[in-house]
Amino acid sequence: MNTLLPILAVFLLGNLLVALLRVARGPTPADRLLAALLFGTTGVAILLLLAFATASAALLDAALVFALLAAISGAAFAQRAWREEQAEAAHDDD
Amino acid sequence: MTTTEIASFILLLTGAVFFFAGTVGLLRFPDVYTRLHALAKADNLGLGFIMLGLLLQAPSPATALKLVLIWLLALAASATVGFLIARRARQNGIVPWQSGDRR
Amino acid sequence: MKLSVAAVRAFLWRSALLAALWWALTDGRADSWGVGSVSILAAVSLSLRLLPPVPTTVSRIGLLRFAVFFFVQSLRGGIQVAWLALRPRFSLRPAIHEIPLRLPEGIGRVLLANTLSLLPGTLSVGLEGRRLCLHVLDAAAPTEVEVRRAETRVAHMLGLKLEET
């Protein structure tokens, strides 16, 4: 019924592709890590658009799992980094 | 087209514009920090608008809540991961680009 | 665990939240509530064990005000960075600012550092003790004022006291 959704999904896929090529070029490892952000936002958006375009609830769940994994890994890394920083701060006080 | 459809249409297009701007920023900006600004802010707003546009087409309130949930998770993920990448870049001694530097 | 008012309240709140979550996940299917109620009960008891109820200091008005502030500011931030990316003339003047936080040690500082990356012009690049390191897109922008505003909102939401720097 809605032709806009698949068109937008393809547009975002093109965006993601260009962005990934740029990210792969680096030049620093930190630049390449940006791919994690790209999949968390653009990837989720593409899945959402496709879920509505094809009226398939399964893709919506896939998007949810994507976002959930991104958030959990983010939180886990953040907690580790925070502990490291606390340890460093305690070390500095000695 | 109904008003809801038009509103949904506009929101979805706005979202796509922000994703496009994020990608352009990624290509044009000179270093990893400025690129992070572009991705973290523009892409999240893009996802927010796409989410709102789809919200208007949601077949049930439960699906609408699921959409909001996905968006909140993606926001939390971007905020934490963005901070960690920037922090790691700085720890590894990547010097931020200055406005006098060549791109 | 001693059964206290706080524990009962936490139990009811968490059950309600998880029930809403289950409802969303199953698209409101009525025949899923058999499995759902067992799962919710299991999840609530696990959550009470892993995260015992503490006297809540999160203010609901503070949460709402923070949410509104966050959405308005992230909209501003997105528009600003989109404009910087799309305008033909390239005009970035990045700088690193160090700002001493007034928030006490703990979750408040981390939350502030994380949210600042989505607010206009700022990106957190380090948090060592109370020193927050920010990368800003415009060296001349009033960064400290914005950070102080965000800091006040976070403190209000979490019921934290700001310390003098």
Tell me the pLDDT tens digit for each residue of C15-31. 888 888 888 888 877 78
Taking the domains of chain A in order of start, what are their residue ranges? Answer: 4-93
- The pLDDT score that the predictor gives to residue C90 is 74
Tokens at C90, concatenated: 């390239």
Cα A66 from Cα C134, distance rounded (Å) = 29
Q: Is the ipTM of this structure higher than 0.90? A: no
Instruction: Give A75→chain C minimum CA distance, Å.
Output: 11
pLDDT reading at C58 higher than 80 = no
Binding partners of B (≥3 Cβ pairs within 8 A): A, C
**Secondary structure of chain B as H, E, C letters:** CCHHHHHHHHHHHHHHHHHHHHHHHHHHCCCHHHHHHHHHHHHHHHHHHHHHHHHCCCCCHHHHHHHHHHHHHHHHHHHHHHHHHHHHHHHCCCCCCCCCCCC
| Rounded-to-integer distance, Cα C155 and Cα C109, Å | 9
Could you tell me which residues come within 8 angstroms of residue C83 by beta carbon, excluding any fewer than 6 positions away?
Answer: B21
Asked whether the beta carbons of residue A37 and residue B47 sit closer than 8 angstroms, the reply is no
- Peptide bond before residue A27 is cis, with ω within 30 degrees of 0: yes
Using CB atoms within 10 Å of the CB of residue C122, give its burial: 0 to 12 exposed, 13 to 18 middle, 19+ buried.
buried
Q: With contact defined as beta carbons under 8 Å apart, do C116 and C135 qualify?
A: no
Residue of A nearest to C126 (CA): A85
Nearest to C123 among B36, B45, B103 (CB): B36
Choose among C25, C27, C128: nearest Cβ to A89: C128
pLDDT tens per residue across span C105-127: 777 888 888 888 888 888 888 88
pLDDT of A16 higher than 60: yes
How far is residue B58's CA from residue B67's CA, in Å, rounded to a whole number?
9
Q: Above 70 in pLDDT, residue C1?
A: no
Of A4, A30, A77, the CB nearest to B92: A30
Q: How far is CA C107 from CA B9, B77, C118, in A?
A: 39, 16, 18
DSSP character at residue C128: E
Between C13 and B16, the more confident residue is B16
Q: Please give the Cα distance from B66 to A55 (Å, whole number).
A: 15
Using pLDDT thresholds of 50, 70 and 90, give the confidence band for residue A94. Answer: very low
Task: Select the residue of B57, B70, B84 nearest A77 (Cβ to Cβ).
Answer: B84
In tens digits, chain B (103 residues) has pLDDT values of: 788 888 888 999 999 999 999 898 888 888 888 888 888 889 889 999 999 999 998 888 888 888 999 998 888 888 888 888 888 878 777 777 776 666 5
Tell me whether residues C23 and B89 touch, CB distance under 8 A.
no
**Which residues of B are less than 8 Å from C114 in CB distance?**
79-80, 83
Query: For chain B, what are the domain ranges?
Result: 3-91
The Cα–Cα gap between C80 and C156 comes to: 27
Q: Which chains touch A (3 or more CB pairs under 8 A)?
A: B, C
- Supply the DSSP symbol for C160: P
Are B23 and A18 in contact (CB < 8 Å)? yes
